[in-house]
Structure 1
């Protein structure tokens, strides 16, 4: 994660609409009950995802990497009334955790949880997506992109998390790391793919 000036971060947090009670509880439980709580989207990233989803008003969303469900809840808030979020998580120990909070958020009927390797699951999905969010194994980002691109409707959106990888992409000694190499290859792949327009934010 990129380091941000603490003063700026404090100001941003103080001037951003806060979490609803379900997300606040999920945030707390994720920090209490998981080993890597920093993997959770959190307030500002969650708000960003929610705003994008509300602007698009998607019918179908694909999330690659559920974790504890925070980002999924944020994304699902923007679905059309008949919309559905498909969310894939490889760690089966997190499925019931996320399901608990999907239920508390009143979203159980609008979310399909899929367990396993996204690289095997994506080809089986006979769905066209308006929005895809990638936040899973960084070394597999290129594979996720190549598998899902034909399932994104024309004019659809794809968001990928951590594409600067905490500035490791600038560290030549880190480029032998599979995750760093995966992110570098993904950024190049997307940038040179004429089917998409891209922005690193």
Structure 2
């Protein structure tokens, strides 16, 4: 598997110098550096943004900013990405790389709980990337799909991407794994699959992506 992963990286467009530095810095300073999106997922997100051409993007879970910067590279002038990070200790690192990236005019960083920040957002998003606390995925989905808001967070034609929805394969073994993270992700996947308002496909990219389109 390591050879295959190395081959995949070698055959994909490489990181630019700033993203390489962010990867190194994350590995040196972050408690859980494996949470970084990384080269392949970052390239996928950037290409997806170029294809969809969203005017408004929402990210739940910034971590050190790799995925936000990856998406910003594909955004057109005037587009805005709101990204929410609960850990205030990451703020200085995130802002430093956003400022150096040249995409500072496209990225609005919000520090705090997604449940505190999202109600204050007066935007309808074309694309949402969900990569926050896995135990809160079902609650994120309910809030995003809430049709009672004066300004809905998503609309018909919006796309949602949920990361880590395979959770190391644990979701496929319900009798063996019943920890809060696995149970919440399994519940999220079930909610999406049974929601007539959306269509979705689960992709095995890295630890799994659930690509969701609001009908």
Greater share of strand: 2
Unaligned runs of 5+ in 1: none
Equivalent residue, structure 2, for 1:50: 46
Structure 1 moving runs of 4+ over 4 Å: none
Look up the match of 1:121: 117
Q: For structure 2, list consecutive stretches of 5 or more residues without a partner in the other structure.
A: 146-151, 204-215
Match of 2:190 among 167, 188, 196: 188
Q: Higher RCO, 1 or 2 (CA under 8 Å, sep at least 6)?
A: 1
RMSD: 1.0
> Take 1:80 and 1:123, find their aligned partners in 2: how far apart are those partners?
26
Give the match for residue 160 of structure 1.
162
Distance in 2, matches of 1:95 and 1:61, equals 19
- 1:14-163 to structure 2, matched below 5 A, reads 14-149=10-145, 150-163=152-165
Deviations 1:71-128, CA, capped at 9 Å, x for gaps: 0001112222101100000000001111111111111121111111101211111101
**TM-score, normalised via structure 2 length:** 0.89
Note the C-alpha offset of 1:173: 2.7
Return the structure number with greater helix share.
1
Determine the C-alpha separation between the residues in 2 that align with 1:174 and 1:198: 24
Deviations 1:151-201 (A, max 9, x none): 1132111000000001111332321x1111100000000001111110000
Is the contact between residue 41 and residue 71 of structure 1 (CA under 8 Å) also seen in structure 2? Answer: yes
Aligned residues: 196
